[in-house]
């Protein structure tokens, strides 16, 4: 079952439930040995901490000692995942029944839910015009619920975060994380590339998931002849029939330039079209995770 089955998007309003539905469907078709929670081989106990997943509670140990313990594995290495979500006004672009922002929310929610199932720490940056909201990476459903709440209430509004605020990322600590940046790559003065340079300097592993609508790819706006830049308000007259060939050539060059720029920065890149399911992004995460980033 895909997250983007239309009836899910239109009928499930709760983001956590939508993510759970999606991951359950993804797991049913995935290699169960690759998609699991804390490692299969037992290594040691540790004391239970608030927010830990109760599925890994050892109830027999509790019965013997009257204390709560979590079973840990030596074969499964838990990681720290940080989701970065572009919340600027360009993410309000719509294609059919939903916007880029709605697609980004569900994509982030699915990744967060899957990572939490693996026993990983999950955190969040939402990139707003007035600054960066940060949720520290932690394990457990309590933290996951806070993350879902922030996703449900974020953007899209204003321009992309001013590089002035990138310093806030330093305050989040220097621990290496796997970063998944969900964005439409819309930038005026290379501000996204500057952000990625900073994240590279902090030695994080980065995946960029570039969201585009099918109507952007095909220049199909259902009869509209005027397009508006959602962040600057600038407008342009277009004739889709006559501009299609030139547009697709320019778009192809642009996407290749983006891919090459990120490749030069050693950043993993995937183009996500909004009418496609998120399965490939989930597989990208599991692959990077299995390689220890």
pLDDT in tens, 64-105: 787 777 765 544 557 899 999 999 999 999 988 889 999 999
Q: How far is CA 191 from the centre of its chain?
A: 19
pLDDT of residue 230: 73
Instruction: Report the pLDDT averaged over residues 274-290.
Output: 87
Residue whose tokens read 């998120």: 278
- Residue 133 neighbours by CB under 8 Å, 6+ apart: 124, 125, 126, 150, 154
Q: Which of 68, 61, 101 has the alpha carbon at shortest distance from 85?
A: 101
How many residues would you count in the chain? 293
Question: How far apart, in whole angstroms, are the C-alpha atoms of residue 97 and residue 292?
Answer: 37
Give domain 6-31+78-290's CATH architecture: 3-Layer(aba) Sandwich (3.40)
Instruction: Report the pLDDT averaged over residues 146-166.
Output: 91
DSSP state, residue 186: -
Mean pLDDT for the chain?
82
Q: Which of 185, 183, 181 has the alpha carbon at shortest distance from 255?
A: 185
pLDDT of residue 52: 67
pLDDT of residue 174: 63
Question: How far apart, in whole angstroms, are the C-alpha atoms of residue 131 and residue 153?
Answer: 15
Residue 181 predicted with pLDDT over 80? yes
Residue-wise burial string across 57-95, b where 16 or more C-beta atoms lie within 10 A, e elsewhere: ebeeeeeeeeebbbbbbeebebbbbbbbbbbbbbbbbeb
pLDDT of residue 77: 58
pLDDT of residue 245: 84
Question: How far apart, in whole angstroms, are the C-alpha atoms of residue 120 and residue 242?
Answer: 50
pLDDT of residue 38: 45
The least confident of 47-61, 143-157, 254-268 is: 47-61
Domain limits of the chain? Answer: 6-31+78-290, 42-73
Question: How far apart, in whole angstroms, are the C-alpha atoms of residue 238 and residue 235?
Answer: 10
Residue whose tokens read 């090459």: 260
Strands (E), 28-130: 42-47, 69-73, 80-86, 94-95, 98-99, 121-128
pLDDT of residue 173: 58
pLDDT band for position 12 (cuts 50, 70, 90): low
DSSP state, residue 57: B
Q: Where is pLDDT greater, at 208 or 51?
A: 208
Instruction: Report the pLDDT averaged over residues 28-56.
Output: 58
Q: pTM here?
A: 0.79
- Residue 209 in tokens: 């998931």
Contact 225, 238 (CB under 8 A): yes
CA dihedral angle for residue 95, residue 100, residue 103, residue 107, rounded to 10 degrees: 140
- The percent of residues in the chain predicted with pLDDT above 70, rounded, is 78
Angle between helices 15-28 and 141-152 (to 10 degrees): 120
The least confident of 8-22, 112-126, 232-246 is: 8-22
């Amino acid at each position: 079952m895909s997250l983007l089955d239309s009836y899910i998007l239109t009928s499930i309003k709760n983001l956590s439930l939508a993510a759970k539905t999606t991951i359950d469907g993804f797991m049913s078709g995935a290699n169960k040995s690759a998609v699991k929670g804390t490692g299969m081989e037992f290594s040691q106990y540790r004391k239970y901490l608030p927010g830990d997943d109760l599925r890994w509670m050892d109830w027999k140990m509790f019965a013997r000692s009257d204390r709560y313990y979590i079973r840990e594995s030596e074969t499964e290495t838990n990681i720290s995942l940080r989701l970065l979500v572009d919340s600027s006004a360009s993410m309000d672009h719509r294609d059919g029944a939903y916007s880029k922002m709605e697609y980004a929310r569900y994509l982030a929610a699915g990744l967060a839910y899957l990572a939490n199932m693996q026993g990983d720490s999950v955190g969040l940056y939402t990139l707003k015009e007035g600054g960066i909201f940060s949720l520290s990476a932690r394990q457990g459903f309590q933290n996951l619920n806070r993350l879902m709440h922030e996703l449900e209430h974020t953007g899209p509004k204003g321009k992309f975060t001013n590089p002035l605020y990138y310093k806030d990322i330093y305050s989040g600590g220097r621990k290496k994380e796997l970063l998944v940046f969900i964005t439409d790559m819309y930038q005026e003065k290379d501000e996204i590339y500057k952000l990625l340079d900073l994240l590279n300097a902090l030695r994080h592993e980065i995946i960029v998931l570039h969201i585009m609508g099918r109507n952007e790819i095909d220049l199909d706006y259902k009869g509209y002849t005027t397009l508006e830049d959602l962040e600057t308000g600038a407008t342009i007259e277009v004739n889709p029939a006559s501009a299609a060939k030139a547009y697709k050539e320019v778009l192809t060059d642009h996407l290749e330039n983006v891919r090459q720029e990120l490749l030069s920065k050693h950043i993993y890149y995937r183009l996500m079209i909004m009418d496609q399911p998120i399965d490939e992004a989930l597989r990208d995460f599991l692959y990077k995770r299995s390689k220890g980033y």
